[in-house]
Structure 1
Amino acid sequence: MTGSDVGDDALAGAFEEQRGRLEAVAYRMLGSRTDAEDAVQEAWLRLMRQDAATIDNLSGWLTTVVGRVCIDMLRARAAHPEAPYGERLPDFVVTEDEGAPEDDAVLADSVAVALLVVLDSLGPAERLAFVLHDMFAVPFDEIGQILGRSTDASKMLASRARRKVQAAPRPSDERRRARAVVDAFLAAARAGDFEGLLRVLDPEVRWRGYSARGLVVRLGAAEVASRVQFAAGATATSRPVLVNGEPGILAVGQGGRPVAVMACTVVDGRIVEIVSTTDQDRLAAMDLPD
């Protein structure tokens, strides 16, 4: 083995030690595990093109690169909202729906899913400043270097982001009401009750269904209710779960095999959006409750 090989092996080992933290940073920035992995992979590729001898602090260097890659990705999304990102199935964290809503909120926070909803309202620079400082204790002078701004400007960005995060409503009561709506939807679906479905669906509800064949979008309460009513006789057993900390549905087929996960967004007492997947590969990759 050559000296270069030894050096490459050592660098790869050092990078792998940082990978978990880097992916955590990128996930909180991007809200997508796939995109987070892409950002970290890009950092690895850039590291391979860099003279490692010029890097004094590998952890800081990698954080800087991942931060800049994430900002570029966020800006690209904002500039091209029609880009393929919008066609991807969002990451689902599925847990049992039991215990007090406050406990559920803690659980959602522990996987940083509920927070991602708030972070989506922040600009890329605000989001990076808040995530790196408040969640990963990166000093503001380093954040400033990543953003190309002064330390004081970085502090201001983080402070503004922090105020927005703190001002976000704590949805314990809202979650109870949303659970009741989703439960009513589930009961109407089981009974094939078309009118009951219409009562809990927003007239302009949007359903994005991901299968192994791709994405199907259904628009409007009548179309969604018709599809749900058509599937009412299926042999799968559906039960309430939490999807990303919010009320959702898990459908299980014969032998206990998961056949679908459905996430519901409730606004003003009606379901305005449904995102579901029946893709067995996606379902197999999820850590679903028994």
Structure 2
Amino acid sequence: MLGSHSDAEDAVQETWLRWERNGPESIDNLGGWLTRVIGRICLDALRRRTTRGESSLDAWLSEAIVDEDDPTPEQNATLSDSLGPAMLIVLDSLRPEERVAFVLHDMFSVPFAEIAAVIGSSEAAAKMAASRARRKVKDTPPPSGELSQRRAVVDAFLTAARLGDFDALLHFLDPGLTWHRSNARGHMVRMGANEVLAAIRRGDPDRIEVRKVNVNGEPGLLVLTASGHRLGLMACTVADGRLVGIVSITSRKLLERLRLPGQ
């Protein structure tokens, strides 16, 4: 719902406090009561984010686990509940009511009558909110294949970029690729493989170092200067053997919040 472990913990804690204040003996349907209360808490949190111009991607980055090697079994247990950056961006594009309705219904099978009580609407309006969200979400392809296979695609993409082999790059880039860029000026979206190719042509691979990393369990790339200064982080979404989504972060403020391997 919130895309952030810390925000989720805050929502659960607030729900627990309200449950204690209300008195469990006065609640006839505990499951329904909990769903309604925590749903409203999440809805309020999403509305505050919208007002302040914040995003789930910012929270995702601040909590990101960046590893050079494959995640440990303990990390895998945590990462199994993590959403990828491309999905978080799509969820952030939804209105708070749409996001809440979609998550409650499509992920937890909560009836629309209960969802309507959470978002303060009619049952028909709740159905429409979930439907609008569903149409946006289905256009974002999820990762497919084993992690080792997705890693191999990103590694091959990196090799082709270093060699300037643009024919090979086109093989690994989906024509409809979505490239989200977060820098000091804000967030921008570019569509299509040609946008990535143009950026690679402008680059100078001899002046940077690229380290292969996993970002929240998905293949990524960390770009550094020769002296080790952070320039950018890429999180990649691979489906059917091609890169279908890239989120690149070059904002110095965001990069400084990263905890990198060896730190």
User: Are the structure 2 counterparts of residues 282 and 76 from structure 1 closer, same or farther at C-alpha, using a change threshold of 3 Å?
Assistant: closer
Q: Is residue 103 of structure 2 the alignment partner of residue 124 of structure 1?
A: yes
State how far apart, in whole Å, the 1-side matches of 2:206 and 2:183 are.
17
Shift of 1:225: 1.1
2:223–2:230: 8 Å Cα contact kept in structure 1? yes
Question: How far is the alpha carbon of 1:219 from its aligned partner?
Answer: 1.5
Greater Rg by CA: 1
TM-score, normalising length: structure 2? 0.60
User: Which structure is richer in relative contact order (CA contacts within 8 A, separation 6 or more)?
Assistant: 2
Separation of aligned partners in 2, 1:33 and 1:278: 23
Map residues 134-283 of structure 1 onto 2, 5 A cutoff: 174-233=146-205, 235-283=207-255
Identify the match of residue 21 of structure 2 among 55, 62, 77. Answer: 55
The 1:110–1:277 alpha-carbon spacing in structure 2 relative to 1, beyond 3 Å, is same
**1:179 to partner: Cα distance:** 0.6
CA contact (8 A) 2:172 2:243 kept: yes
Aligned pairs (5 A) from 1:41-52: none
Identical pairs, percent: 37
Q: Secondary structure at the residue paired with 1:276? A: strand
Distance 1:114 1:67 in 2: 19
- Seen in structure 2, the aligned counterparts of structure 1 residues 192 and 90 have a Cα distance that, compared at 3 Å, is farther
Distance 2:257 2:77 in 1: 21
For 2:144 and 2:168, the matched residues in 1 are separated by 25
Structure 1 counterpart of 2:60: 91
Gaps of 5+ in 1: 1-28, 131-142, 149-170
Tell me how far apart the structure 2 counterparts of residues 108 and 258 of structure 1 sit (CA, whole Å): 26
By how many angstroms is 1:104 displaced? 4.9
**Cα displacement (A) at 1:214:** 1.4
Q: Whole-Å Cα distance in 1 between the matches of residues 221 and 255 of structure 2?
A: 13
Q: Provide closer, same or farther for how the CA distance between residues 255 and 68 of structure 1 changes in structure 2, counting only shifts above 3 A.
A: same
SS at match of 1:114: coil
Asked if 1 retains the 8 angstrom alpha-carbon contact of 2:3 and 2:56, the reply is no
- 1:265 Cα offset (Å): 0.5
Give 1:157's aligned residue. Answer: none
User: Does the 8 A contact of 1:194 with 1:226 survive in 2?
Assistant: no
The answer to whether the 8 A contact 2:68-2:261 is kept is no
Whole-angstrom distance in 2 between the partners of 1:243 and 1:87? 15
- Tell me the TM-score normalised to structure 1 length: 0.55
Deviation of 1:215 after TM superposition, in Å, equals 1.9
Q: Secondary structure at the match of 1:198?
A: helix
Q: Choose the corresponding residue for 1:110, options 78, 84, 89.
A: 78
| Rounded Cα–Cα distance in structure 2 between residues aligned with 1:242 and 1:192 | 24
The number of residues matched between the two structures is: 207
Equivalent residue number for residue 134 of structure 2: none
Which residue in the other structure is 1:160 paired with?
Answer: none
Partner of 1:19: none
Match of 2:139 in 1: none
Structure 1 residue 192, shift from structure 2 partner = 2.5
Change in 2 beyond 3 A, CA 1:178/1:212:
same
CA distance, structure 2, for counterparts of residue 237 and residue 57 of structure 1:
58
- The CA distance in 2 between the partners of 1:214 and 1:105, in whole Å, is 35
**Equivalent pair of 2:37/2:118 in contact (CA under 8 Å):** no
Cα distance in 2 for partners of 1:172, 1:223 equals 23
Q: Which amino acid aligns with 2:165?
A: D
User: Where does the alignment leave 5 or more consecutive residues of structure 2 unmatched?
Assistant: 25-29, 92-98, 120-142
Letter in 2 for 1:110: T
**SS of the residue aligned with 2:259?**
coil
Residue 63 (structure 1) shift:
9.6
- Contact 1:208-1:216 at 8 Å conserved across structures: yes
CA offset at residue 279 of structure 1?
A: 0.9
Comparing both structures, which one devotes a greater share of its residues to helix?
1
